[in-house]
Amino acid sequence: MAVGSDRFPSMPALAGIRLGTARAGLRSGPGDDLAVIELAPDSVAAAVFTRNAFCAAPVTVAKRHLKVSPSPRWLLINAGNANAGTGQQGIEDALATCRALSDLTQGQPTQILPFSTGVIGEPLPVEKITAALPQALTSLSPQNWENAARAIMTTDTRPKGAVAKVTIGGKAVTIAGIAKGAGMIAPNMATMLAFIGTDAKAAPATLQSLLQTCVGDTFNAITVDGDTSTNDACILMATGQANNPTLDASHPDLDAFRHALHEVCAQLAQAIVRDGEGATKLMRIKVTEAKNETEARQVAFTVANSPLVKTAFFAGDPNWGRILAAVGRAGIDQMVIDDIRIWLDEICIVSGGGRNPDYTETQGQQVMAQDEITVTIALGRGQTQTQVLTCDLSYDYVRINAEYRT
Q: In sequence order, which residues have a C-beta less than 8 Å from that of residue 28 and are 6 or more positions away?
A: 80
Nearest in space to 90 (alpha carbons), one of 135, 39, 49, 126: 126
Q: In sequence order, which residues have a C-beta less than 8 Å from that of residue 327 and are 6 or more positions away?
A: 299, 302, 303, 340, 342, 377
Among residues 191, 288, 386, 390, the one annotated as catalytic is 191
Residue 301 half-sphere exposure toward CB, CA atoms < 13 A: 20
Rounded alpha-carbon distances, angstroms, from residue 307 to 84, 168, 389: 27, 45, 15
Other CB atoms within a 10 A radius of the CB of residue 138 amount to 10
Q: Known catalytic residue: 174?
A: no
Q: What is the DSSP letter of 371?
A: S
List beta partners, residue 388. 285
Q: In sequence order, which residues have a C-beta less than 8 Å from that of residue 3 and are 6 or more positions away?
A: 274, 275, 279, 280, 281, 282, 371, 372, 391
Cα dihedral: 40, 41, 42, 43 (round 10): 30
Nearest in space to 220 (alpha carbons), one of 195, 193, 189, 192: 189
Catalytic residues: 191
